[in-house]
Structure 1
Amino acid sequence: MTTGLIELDEATLVARARDRDPAAFELLVRRYQRRIYTLCLRMLNGATGDAEDVAQETFVTAWRRLPEIQHDAAFGSWLYRTATNKCLTILQRRKPTTELDEESAPHDLSGDADPARAVGNSEAMQALAVALKRLPPPQRACWLLREVHGRSYQEIADLVGTTPTAVRGRIARARAELAEVMKPWR
């Protein structure tokens, strides 16, 4: 792989990938891999296997459908939309659960030197994970895309197929529900 490719802007990499340049596509995957996987992991309630599968499917779909992307600079938004839709499809097939399994609970206590504080933070993260699981999938998707991935209301609306006003409502309801659950940790 050439070092020069790393410095190219996204639109140029997309154009090269559309011409079937595997090195350009590999760089696009590297740029988005962690973000897309993290989105999938959180949307799918910490199911690592499903998140890995959806992230991989998203990039395979991207490779196959590159010629359909009309604006090279919109590649990132297209990836987010594809991953979000795949996650929502999986969630619609599942029956809802409210239990947090051990595998999906956050356990990283390494960032805090005070053990009591670390335990409290871990408990708060577990409570947040449980609360996120209880949100309806479209609400969870909007909240994650806004609060974790920093997407605009308009972009989220485009990603989930609704209006910015509906997105604002979903996020407001999600924030209210999460704030209620998180009161003990304030």
Structure 2
Amino acid sequence: MNSPPEIPPAAEQPARSAPTDAELLTRHITGDPHAFSEIVKRHRDRMWAVALRTLGDPDEAADAVQDAFVSAYRKAESFRGEAAVTTWLHRIVVNACLDRMRRKSVRPLADDELIEAAERDTPLPDQTGEREVSLEVSAALKVLPADQRAALVLVDMMGYSVEDAAKVLNVPSGTVKSRCARGRAKLAPILAHLRNRSELTRVSSAKGAQLRDG
């Protein structure tokens, strides 16, 4: 008696990949009530980091991010796909920050507020020296004009390439380079002691290693 033919297992359904930012934005434009919320979840932390480092004030940063997302929600149809959605969002956030800086003077932060904001943004190891450096850099950035500060935040603090920062700021790459150069030149004498401190730490560590190896 012949055995019954083997029935092949049902083909496994491929896992559905998460929609891209551009797909979510398209869904939002066509009426999906949840699509934009997903975009906010994906990008709000980085938007917050950009706003906080640009403005140096957590309250102003929170308001700027809120303004930016409201603007993005309302102007989603203006996205043409010429750049990534993240670049488009960063541009809106940076513009919201620059608008606030131009409209009014941002109040200075107390030390405890800066520490709290820095910990909420990107927690650092519990090292007093790093916290002191963070506070001093944040305070020094406030002496720069808005355009130079925004360029330095994107390139030196957020790690954007000059080309990507140029897309966010909607200016030529040469302009970003120039703004960064002028900003660094202004900060150099203010933060020179930090460079000396870093050099001292490096030398001390090297000497310690020599003593251990010897």
Q: Which TM class, normalised by the smaller chain length? A: 0.7 to 0.9
1:96 Cα deviation from its structure 2 partner: 7.0
Q: Say whether the 8 Å CA contact 1:128–1:181 is kept in structure 2.
A: no
* TM-score normalised to structure 1 length: 0.81
* Residue identity opposite 1:81 in structure 2: R
Q: Say whether the 8 Å CA contact 2:65–2:96 is kept in structure 1.
A: no
Kindly report which structure 2 residues correspond to 1:7-22, keeping only aligned pairs within 5 A, or say none.
Answer: 7-22=18-33
Kindly report which structure 2 residues correspond to 1:3-42, keeping only aligned pairs within 5 A, or say none.
Answer: 7-42=18-53
Deviation >6 Å, runs of 4+: none
Where structure 1 has 5 or more consecutive residues not aligned to the other structure, the ranges are 113-117
* TM-score normalised to structure 2 length: 0.72
Q: Percent identity of the aligned residues?
A: 30
Inter-partner Cα distance in structure 2 for 1:172 and 1:150: 16
Rg larger in 1 or in 2? 2
Q: 1:17 to 1:184 in 2, by over 3 A?
A: same
How large is the RMSD of aligned CA atoms in angstroms?
Answer: 2.5
Partner of 2:9: none
Inter-partner Cα distance in structure 2 for 1:170 and 1:25: 33
Q: Say whether the 8 Å CA contact 1:6–1:27 is kept in structure 2.
A: no
Inter-partner Cα distance in structure 1 for 2:51 and 2:146: 12
Q: 1:75-105 CA deviation, whole Å, 9 max, x = no partner?
A: 21111111111111111122477x5423542
Inter-partner Cα distance in structure 2 for 1:29 and 1:96: 25
1:17 Cα deviation from its structure 2 partner: 1.7
Q: Say whether the 8 Å CA contact 2:148–2:183 is kept in structure 1.
A: yes
Kindly report which structure 2 residues correspond to 1:1-186, keeping only aligned pairs within 5 A, or say none.
Answer: 7-45=18-56, 47-71=57-81, 74-95=84-105, 100-106=109-115, 108=119, 111-112=125-126, 118-185=127-194, 186=198
Q: 1:64 to 1:130 in 2, by over 3 A?
A: same
Question: Which is further off, 156-165 or 124-133?
Answer: 156-165
Inter-partner Cα distance in structure 1 for 2:70 and 2:141: 28
Q: 1:110 to 1:149 in 2, by over 3 A?
A: closer
Partner of 1:115: none
